[in-house]
């Protein structure tokens, strides 16, 4: 395993011509002889690809498309993905965003593996344990590689008729499932549809439904307990985060999902769909749904951390600028957060940096306890990607139950490349 700081610029690219097969097997956390249930081969290329509705662009593809193919598994199935790099010059990896895989499968160049060079392959194997909506993306020079196309949806145990909608902006062109403009999906009037929204961009996106009421049924892969029916409100999808909505398609007309307000929308059903502006009100996940036990006691924390995000003048990679800080320190001199297996961890995140940061912790889900001193009262709000606005303070908690070295970074991948990165490390 190559250690070192990975993704503010790019992890080391491995030397030698080993293939994924002889490389990965030591680190499999499932027996090497267990046959895979879901077998996927992905070939990454640097090439020009189509953006239906908007021409084409130069970027990166997986199996000649961007986004790459949707990976679907049932809970408990063993997923095996062979990644081959045909022509991406900086090397690539795949990270299973939001899936709490064993550390060896996490796909972070420079932390859990070396980047896969041109001509090499690498095999990932993990058991799909967490039902829900996820995505995958390269974690090597990710601010460039994700933006230019190396990502795709990953869904564990979807229902029949679910609509998966991955939103991504290529060169200022916002798309849904790789298309620009109105994207139509058939559904019979009267049918109940679950929409799985994935925000693969660097910034938050408001979504809303014109033509029907809806419920927010899951956040970052976790089901919401007793979600209220919402009308005339938007809901925010954190950068990197996922929101699942459920709605009933009316008979005789279609519904339209606003995706941040541009021309790219999702239309479900037959007939005309109303178009409206973003509603003025927003669902607050802090008080949405009905509370239920967390399964652990955040009051009895073994570790308490404070995580202050700021900004100050200095040099980064030799360049002068205003750079991000964590607890006053600039990358790579930021603190690591050290835990032991089984610890209950409570962390206060404060952002006084002047910008919003979608903070993403690998390998774990954390529950929000409070925001700006107001305690959470709704369904437990479990996230892997949390939108922390400037001036906000969040208290979060989780049980450290997945040993390894885990990245904890801003999912505005440009900010991560500028050093807004730390790690959670198990002793």
Chain residues in the site for Cu ion (CB under 5 A) = 357, 410, 412, 415, 420
Q: Which stretch binds ligand C2O (CB under 6 A): 121-129, 207-215, 314-322, 406-414?
A: 406-414
For residue 174, the partner it binds in ligand C2O, Cu ion, none, with Cβ less than 5 to 8 A by kind, is: none
Nearest approach in angstroms of CB 10 to Cu ion is 19
Largest Cα separation within the chain, whole Å, is 61
**Nearest-CB residue for ligand C2O:** 97
The helix/strand/coil state of 9 is: coil
Burial 256-289 (b: 16+ CB within 10 A, else e): bbbbbeeebbbbbbbeebeeeeebeeebbbbebb
Judge if the upstream peptide bond of residue 332 is cis by omega within 30 degrees of 0.
yes
> Exposed/middle/buried for 315, CB within 10 Å: 0-12, 13-18, 19+?
exposed
Residue 420 found at the interface with ligand C2O (CB under 6 A) = no
Q: Which stretch binds ligand C2O (CB under 6 A): 61-69, 125-133, 222-230, 407-415?
A: 407-415
Instruction: List the one residue from 94, 109, 167, 407 that touches ligand C2O (CB under 6 A).
Output: 407
- Contact (CB, 8 A) for 285 and 380: no
Nearest approach in angstroms of CB 415 to Cu ion is 3
For residue 410, the partner it binds in ligand C2O, Cu ion, none, with Cβ less than 5 to 8 A by kind, is: Cu ion
CB atoms within 10 A of CB 318: 5
Among positive and negative, which fits the CA dihedral 108, 114, 120, 121? Answer: negative
Residue 137 found at the interface with ligand C2O (CB under 6 A) = yes
Residue 365 found at the interface with ligand C2O (CB under 6 A) = no
Alpha helices (H) in 82-178, listed in sequence order: 142-145
Between vectors from CA 381 to CA 376 and to CA 382, what angle results, nearest 5°? Answer: 140
Residue 409 found at the interface with ligand C2O (CB under 6 A) = yes
Residue 357 found at the interface with ligand C2O (CB under 6 A) = no
Instruction: List the one residue from 139, 233, 364, 415 that touches ligand C2O (CB under 6 A).
Output: 139
Site string for ligand C2O, 90-109 (x = CB under 6 A): -----x-x------------
Tokens describing residue 226 = 């007793």
- Which residues here bind ligand C2O, judged by CB under 6 A? 95, 97, 137, 139, 240, 360, 362, 407, 409, 411
């Amino acid at each position: 395993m190559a250690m070192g700081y990975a993704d503010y610029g790019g992890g080391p690219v491995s030397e030698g011509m080993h293939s994924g097969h002889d490389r990965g097997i030591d680190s499999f956390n499932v027996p090497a002889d267990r046959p895979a249930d879901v077998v996927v081969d992905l070939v990454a290329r640097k090439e020009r690809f189509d953006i239906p509705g908007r021409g084409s662009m130069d970027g990166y593809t997986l199996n000649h498309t961007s986004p790459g193919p949707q990976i679907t598994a049932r809970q408990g199935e063993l997923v095996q993905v062979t990644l081959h790099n045909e022509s991406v010059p900086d090397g690539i990896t795949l990270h299973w965003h939001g899936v709490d895989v064993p550390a060896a499968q996490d796909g972070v160049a420079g932390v859990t593996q070396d980047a896969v060079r041109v001509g090499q392959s690498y095999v990932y194997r993990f058991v799909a344990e967490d039902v829900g909506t996820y995505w995958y993306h390269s974690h090597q020079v990710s601010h460039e590689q994700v933006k230019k196309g190396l990502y795709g949806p990953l869904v564990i145990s979807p229902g029949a008729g679910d609509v998966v909608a991955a939103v991504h902006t290529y060169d200022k062109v916002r798309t849904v499932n790789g298309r620009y403009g109105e994207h139509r999906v058939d559904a019979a009037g009267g049918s109940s549809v679950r929409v799985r929204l994935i925000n693969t961009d660097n910034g938050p996106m408001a979504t809303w439904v014109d033509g029907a009421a809806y419920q927010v049924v899951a956040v970052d892969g976790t089901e919401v307990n007793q979600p209220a029916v919402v009308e005339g409100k938007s809901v925010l999808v954190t950068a990197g985060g996922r929101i699942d909505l459920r709605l009933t398609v009316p008979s005789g007309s279609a519904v339209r999902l606003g995706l941040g307000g541009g021309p790219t929308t999702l239309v479900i059903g037959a007939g005309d769909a109303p178009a409206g502006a973003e509603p003025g009100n927003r669902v607050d996940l802090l008080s949405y749904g009905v509370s239920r036990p967390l399964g652990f006691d955040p009051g009895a924390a073994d570790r308490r951390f404070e995580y202050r995000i700021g900004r100050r003048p200095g040099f980064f990679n030799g360049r002068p600028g205003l750079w991000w800080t964590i607890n006053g320190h600039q990358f790579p001199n930021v603190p690591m957060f050290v835990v032991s297996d089984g610890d209950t961890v409570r962390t206060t995140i404060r952002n006084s940096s002047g910008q919003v940061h979608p903070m993403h912790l690998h390998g774990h889900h954390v529950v929000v306890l409070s925001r700006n001193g107001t305690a959470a009262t709704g369904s437990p709000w479990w996230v892997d990607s949390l939108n922390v606005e400037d001036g906000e303070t969040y208290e979060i908690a989780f049980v450290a139950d997945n040993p390894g070295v885990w990245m904890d970074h801003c999912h505005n991948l440009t900010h991560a490349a500028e050093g807004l990165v730390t790690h959670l490390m198990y002793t």
